Amino acid sequence: MTHPIRWRARGRPARVALVVLALALGGCQSGPRPADGVAGATSGGRGWKPSHPDTLGPVVAVVGNRRITAHEVDSVIATAPANVRDQFNSAEAYRRLVDRLVTEEAVYQAARAAGADKSPGYQAEVARSARDLLIRGYYQDRMDALPPPAESAVQGYYDAHKEEYVVQPRARVRHIQLPTRAKAASVRRLLEKGGLWDSLCRTHSTDAATKNDGGILGFITPEVEYVPGIGKAPSIVTAAFELKEGETSQPLKSEKGWHLIRVESLEPKGYQPLAAVRGGIVDRLTAEASGAYSKAVLDSLKEQANATVFDDSIQVAVRPAKTPQDYFKEAQAAVLPQDRIELYRALVNRFPNDSVTVQAEFMIGFTYAEDVGDTDQAREEFEKFIARHPNHELATSAKWMMENMDKPAPDLEGGDTGDTGKRGAATDSTRTVPPKRTQGSP
C-alpha cells in the first residue's frame, strides 16, 4: 500500500526574512512564461512588457524572459506573520520586496547559465534536502493516520483528573472600615436595629475608596489570605466563608483598622465543564499516544528494512584509537606469557609496517624462549624474524638467542643455588634483550 505524501507546511516558523522563500515560490506560483506581449526596452536592455492584464494579477517586474506577478509577491507576503505583512501595505515597502525578488531571480538565472546547478556540491545539497523532505513528509503522513482519542477516553481522563479542573469557592464581600473595635460594635448594633448598610457605610467608613459604593471589596477565595483593597487579612477571609449570604460579621481586625463585613454572594466549589476543557484533554491524550504510535511506526519500518545495530562495533568506534606504542606497552605489562604473545601478534597484524612492529616480532620469540621455555617455537619465531629483517640490529640478538637459549643460565653467585640447569623465568619486562654483538665480542 502506498502513502501519498501531502507536501504542506507543518509548524513552519514565521520567517521575518521573507526573501528566503522567494526562490522556492518563484518557479511555481507565477504561471507559465509569457508567450505573448510586447518587446521593449527595460533598463537599457531588451525585455518583455505585458500587453493585456494577467490572470495572476499585474506583472510587477520582468527579469529576462521571466515575469514576476503581484500574485507571486503577495504569496511571499502571505507566509509572514501578521505584524510583518502589515509593513508591505505601502507602495515603497512593496517596491523594496519586488526589487529583492528581482535581484534573486537575476542571480538565479546567472547561476543556471553558468552551470552552477551542475556542480557536485550543489547536487549533493539538493540530494540531502530531497532526502530530508521525503523522510519528513512520509513520516508525517504516517503520523497523520493516528486516530483521535475516543470520546470515552476523553471522558475517562476528565473523571480521573477532575481536581485539575476545580473552580475554587469564592465570596463577594462588602466592608465598613472603622477606627476602633468599639466603633465597629456600635455600627453593628445600628445594623441590627434595621440601619441601611449603604447609608451607614457612607457615614462611618474610613475607607474613602469604597465608602460611597457600599464598601464593595470584590471576590475572595479561601486559599488566599489577600483581600482586595485591604491586603493580608486572614481573619476576614475565614469569616467570609463562615457567614451566610447577607449576614454581617463581628468586628474583625486588619492592619488598616477594624471591619464589619457582609457576604453579598457565595459561589461554592465547582468544576469546569468537560466541554470547556475538552480541547486541552484531546491535545494531551494525542501527545501521549503519539509517542507510542511514533515508536511503533518507526520500529515497524526498521523491521521491514531488516535493520541491525552492532553494539560491539559501536564500542570499538567510540573507544579512543591506540597507537602501536600503546599496544606494545600493553603487551609488556601483561602478566601471563601467552597473553603477551597474543598482544604482540595483534600489534603485528594491525600495524605490519610500523617500526614498533619489528620489536614486537622479536619479543614473540624472546617470550617463547625466556618465559614459556618452548625453545623449538622460539627458534621458529627467530628464524622467521631473521628472514624478514636480516639487516635489522635485532637480527644479531635473534641469532645470539638461537645459539644460547638451550644452554644453562650461568651461576651468577658462583655457588650452589639449587639451579637444575634450566634457564630462569624472568619476564620480558625485567629481563633485557641480549645486546647486539659488536666486533671483538666473544
Q: Domain range holding 290? A: 274-308
* 409 inside domain: no
The pLDDT tens digits of the residues spanning 160-200 come to: 999 999 998 999 999 999 999 999 999 999 999 999 999 99
* pTM for this model (two decimals): 0.44
Domain identity same for 185 and 244: yes
* 214 inside domain: yes
The pLDDT tens digits of the residues spanning 54-109 come to: 567 799 999 999 999 999 999 999 998 888 888 888 999 999 999 999 999 999 99
The pLDDT tens digits of the residues spanning 271-290 come to: 999 999 999 999 999 999 99
Domain identity same for 174 and 242: yes
Domain identity same for 296 and 345: no
**Domain end call among 283, 308, 333:** 308
* 317 inside domain: no
Q: Among 92, 99, 91, which residue's Cα sits nearest to residue 18?
A: 99
The pLDDT tens digits of the residues spanning 246-271 come to: 999 999 999 999 999 999 999 998 99
Q: Among 307, 296, 346, which residue's Cα sits nearest to residue 146?
A: 296
* 157 inside domain: no
* 202 inside domain: yes
The pLDDT tens digits of the residues spanning 287-345 come to: 999 999 999 999 999 999 999 999 988 888 887 788 899 999 999 999 999 999 999 99
The answer to whether residue 422 scores a pLDDT higher than 80 is no
> What distance lies between CA 115 and its chain's CA centroid?
38
The answer to whether residue 28 scores a pLDDT higher than 60 is no
Domain count, the chain: 4
Domain identity same for 300 and 383: no
Domain identity same for 266 and 177: yes
Domain identity same for 99 and 174: no
What does the angle CA 241 – CA 245 – CA 248 come to, to the nearest 5 degrees?
80
Kind of pairing, strands 252-254 and 257-267? antiparallel
CATH number reported for the structural domain that contains residue 224 in this entry: 3.10.50.40
Q: What's the pLDDT at 412? A: 52
* 257 inside domain: yes
CATH number reported for the structural domain that contains residue 357 in this entry: 1.25.40.10
Q: What's the pLDDT at 89? A: 87
Q: What's the pLDDT at 322? A: 83
Domain identity same for 105 and 196: no
d(CA 309, CA 302): 11
The owner of cell 488598616 is: 256
Domain identity same for 304 and 363: no
Domain identity same for 266 and 179: yes
Q: What's the pLDDT at 324? A: 92
* 411 inside domain: no
* 330 inside domain: yes
